[in-house]
Each structure stands twice: as structure tokens, then as C-alpha cells.
Amino acid sequence: MVQNIAITGASSGLGRALALAYAHPGATLHLAGRDAARLAETAATARALGATVTETTLDVTDQAASKAWITAAAPLDLVIANAGISIGPGDAHFETPENIRALIATNIDGVFNTVLPAIDLMRTQPAGAGGQKGRIAIVGSIAGLMALPTSPTYSATKALLDTWVTATTRSAAREGIGLTLIRPGFIRTPMTAINPYNMPGIMDAGDAAKIIRDGLAAQKTYITFPWWLALLARLSRLAPPALFDSVKRKPPG
């Protein structure tokens, strides 16, 4: 059973639900987020469930601070790079340069600011059962399987994470490090609360966290749910762009 876990973006939504899913006596949780008050609430709830908890106010775009946080949390069985942002294009036909750069800074640089120090740390840890030194999970999205006209850069950042995990899994495994890409569909969180459209298959964050926890316990490389939404996303990539563009521009429902 994984006992020492670090989670970014634990102050809200899926990260908070994951922290609570792993909160039990014997578990040590290292929780990070930007909003100190909401992070403290997650930490207090996790402690009430029996976990030992450290809470760190951290912006994942800060490379040095992220490395210091991971290093101080050692040893770690599991690191979940969950922190991420989503910005729709708003009324403009194109995303603003500021939004594009913010998405790349958080969803790509921020994830690697967490993942790369975690790899360095796990390399130095003794191998446990099955020769594994630790597991790193990255929160991608089903949006990474398609090219969403309503949020191009969000889709692109998640696609990059998807491709990176696929291409790196074998190399990481040779070093005793498990990699997992988590591809959720719609989850009820503050991120989706502002969406003015129906979201097919939307689920509560607690239910999503249980699916993820079970998938990580089974050492899956991909945790993708719901499967049918992922299938539709993959099929949309095979279709001529003109056919699906108008459909995808209309939010589901």
C-alpha cells in the first residue's frame, strides 16, 4: 500500500478529492496548492481521517520551490502532478497570448517542475516489491485525445503530457519508476462549474478520485474514464476536420 504521497493542486476539486481518498491512518500526505485557506481545509479534513499531513503553499510554475518541496517530502511512493488550469477562449476567435502562455506555464512547465525532481528523487530510493522505487501520475485529460476548438491550448497541453508519458514509460520502468497518465472526462469541480453547457458523463470528484486510486493501485499506465467519451474523442481525430469542427464548436448538449 502506498504510504507517502505528494499531490499538487490539493486545495481544490480533483486534487482535494485525491488527498481525501488517500487519507487514512499510516499515510503521510504532502499537499501543495496556491490558496492557503483552501489548502488548510483539505489538510485538516485529511488529518481528521487519520493521515499525517504537511501542507505547502506552492506555485508549480516556480521551478526552485517545486524542487525544494519534492526534495523535502522524501521518501515518496507516489507523486500526483494534478495542478492545472483551463481557460476558454472567451468571446474572441483566438485565445489571447496571455492565456496561451499561462496554460503552457502551468499545465506543462508546472507539471515538469513537479515530475522531474520526483524522478531524480525516486532514482535514489531503494526498490520495493517488484523492483519499483515509486510511481508518478500526471493528470492529463480526455481533451488531450482531441483538438478542441473551444480550448485549443488546453487540449494541446494535455496532448503533450499524454505523448510524453507514452514515450517515457518504458525508460522510466527500467529505472524502477512507474508512470501513469490520468485522462478524466468531465468532473464536477470549480474548473467545470463555469461551463455554460451540459457535460456528458460528468461525475463527482470523489468518484473520480476512487477510480484513480484503484487504477494506481493496479499500476496502470493509463487511467481513462469514461471509456466511451475517450472513444468519441479518438474517433474525432480520425474524421476530416471540417466534419467535426462545427460539432466540437457546439458544446456538448
Ligand X SMILES: NC(=O)c1ccc[n+]([C@@H]2O[C@H](COP(=O)([O-])OP(=O)(O)OC[C@H]3O[C@@H](n4cnc5c(N)ncnc54)[C@H](OP(=O)(O)O)[C@@H]3O)[C@@H](O)[C@H]2O)c1
Site for ligand X, rule CB under 6 A: 8-9, 11-15, 33-35, 38, 58-61, 82-86, 106, 110, 139, 141, 184, 186-187, 189-192
Q: Sign of the CA dihedral 121, 49, 14, 53?
A: negative
Of 13 and 89, the one with the shorter C-beta distance to ligand X is 13
Q: Sign of the CA dihedral 24, 25, 26, 28?
A: positive
Q: Could you tell me the three cell numbers for 156?
A: 494541446
Of 10 and 51, the one with the shorter C-beta distance to ligand X is 10
Residue 145, by phi and psi: left (phi above 0), alpha (psi -120 to 50) or beta? alpha
Residues classed as catalytic? 154
The residues, ordered by sequence, that sit 6+ positions from 215 with a Cβ below 8 Å of its Cβ are 180, 182, 223
Residue 25, by phi and psi: left (phi above 0), alpha (psi -120 to 50) or beta? beta
CB of 242 to ligand X, least distance (A): 27
Of 39 and 51, the one with the shorter C-beta distance to ligand X is 39
Of 192 and 221, the one with the shorter C-beta distance to ligand X is 192
CB of 177 to ligand X, least distance (A): 21
CB atoms within 10 A of CB 220: 16
CB of 128 to ligand X, least distance (A): 28
CB of 134 to ligand X, least distance (A): 20
